[in-house]
Structure 1
Amino acid sequence: MYEQDFPHKRYQETLNFLEKHIAKDLNILDLGVENPLTELLKKKNYKVENTKGEDLDLDFSNVKNSSAEVVTAFEIFEHLIAPFNVLREIKADKLVASIPLSLWFSSAYRSKTDKWDRHYHEFEDWQFDWLLEKAGWKIIDSKKWTNPVNKIGIRPLLRKITPRYYIVYAQRIV
């Protein structure tokens, strides 16, 4: 049950936030490969193009060459060693980005089978805000939400009351 329900709340919160800030006629470059959230955005009539799976710590070519007016980054920056660098290379003047927040009762995520599916960073909200500001972005709006699980125990209880995800809408500072 948990695995089936997990993306739906996150996807719905993300979509609601995006709809609040981004018009559907704007071109979006989504950092990361095409995924189920990309498909949902396209079904909702957003014009979305994804990066191609390049290592965004080292290769900014798709970001630099994009003419998109908006860049989205949904749970991408925690996988990068130096997200500051790609944030500085974005040409668009609008950014919508979400991250998983650091949880004091749970260690950072690390897949045991996929060398790329791990979190180098799990930010606190103030750290992510500072990163964006230092990279030339002004946060206009933000939101946090929880990720409850249908299990019994102390950590599942803490997940019901502790925000896990953080999303921001930011504009480039000229």
Structure 2
Amino acid sequence: MQTKIPRHKSIRYDRTINFLQKVLPAPATILDLGVRNPFSEIMESYGYTVYNTNGEDFDFMPEVVKNFKVDAVTSFEVFEHLISPFNILREIECDKLITTVPLKLWFANAYRSSTDMWDRHYHEFEDWQFRWLLEKSGWDIKESEKWVSPVNKIGIRPILRKFTPRYYAVYAEKNIGSLDK
């Protein structure tokens, strides 16, 4: 039996798979950073071969990405949980990266779960910060998009979410010069 995906995640998943298909058509082999999740299954249903990591703490074990030979690495809402995403970005050996991160919202604090110590955002990026992080870690952005994240609630924040971008999707390729560093 397939799990029902909440509407707000379904919209985000649709946008993410459309972006992925545009920049990396199937079939392709992907290392998706993070444990297996509903989006892993969605990618497979679109013809991708997907490997996931096993819950390693990438701040302490960034080299885990070297255990896979793939066409691309994906990271959907992972880098904001790391103290230093720079380290894992430098360790990726394949030349394609497709990622999404939440953008910093001027009207809301960074997300922090009160019940799950791992479900917290150390970073919520402004687009220029994430571009700089990718550039410094050896990646050239080839394509990007921003998405809103509307919610069906009443209030000032829900209204602002209807037109303020919340997610930043990026397709980047390894900078040839960065391989020598």
The CA distance in 1 between the partners of 2:157 and 2:28, in whole Å, is 40
Q: Residue 85 of structure 2 corresponds to which residue in structure 1?
A: 83
Q: Residue 128 of structure 1 corresponds to which residue in structure 2?
A: 130
Aligned-pair CA distance for 1:44:
1.1
Aligned-pair CA distance for 1:157:
0.5
Q: Residue 163 of structure 1 corresponds to which residue in structure 2?
A: 165
Alignment of 1:92-103 (within 5 A): 92-103=94-105
Aligned-pair CA distance for 1:60:
2.6
Q: Give the secondary structure class of the aligned counterpart of 2:162.
A: helix
Query: Contact 2:66/2:93 (CA < 8 Å) preserved in 1?
Result: yes
Percent identity of equivalent pairs: 59
Alignment of 1:45-64 (within 5 A): 45-64=47-66
Aligned-pair CA distance for 1:7:
0.4
The CA distance in 1 between the partners of 2:123 and 2:149, in whole Å, is 18
Give the 4+ runs in structure 1 shifted more than 3 A: none
1:6 to 5, 8, 14: 8
Q: Give the secondary structure class of the aligned counterpart of 2:59.
A: coil
- Calculate the aligned-residue CA RMSD, in Å: 1.0
1:145 to 144, 147, 157: 147
Aligned-pair CA distance for 1:154:
0.7
- Number of residue-to-residue matches in the alignment: 172
Q: Give the secondary structure class of the aligned counterpart of 1:121.
A: coil
Q: Give the secondary structure class of the aligned counterpart of 1:105.
A: coil
Structure 2: runs of 5+ lacking an equivalent: 177-181
Q: Residue 109 of structure 2 corresponds to which residue in structure 1?
A: 107
- AA at the equivalent of 1:75: E
Normalised to the residue count of structure 2, the TM-score between the two structures is 0.93
Q: Does 1:28 align with 2:30?
A: yes
Normalised to the residue count of structure 1, the TM-score between the two structures is 0.96
1:78-102 CA distance string (max 9 Å, x none) = 0000000000000110000100100
The CA distance in 2 between the partners of 1:16 and 1:59, in whole Å, is 31
Q: Give the secondary structure class of the aligned counterpart of 2:17.
A: helix
Q: Which moved more, 1:97-106 or 1:58-67?
A: 58-67
The CA distance in 2 between the partners of 1:134 and 1:60, in whole Å, is 16
1:117 to 116, 119, 126: 119
1:110-136 CA distance string (max 9 Å, x none) = 111111000000000110000000000
Query: Contact 1:29/1:48 (CA < 8 Å) preserved in 2?
Result: yes
The CA distance in 1 between the partners of 2:27 and 2:15, in whole Å, is 20
The CA distance in 2 between the partners of 1:50 and 1:116, in whole Å, is 18
Query: Contact 2:33/2:53 (CA < 8 Å) preserved in 1?
Result: yes
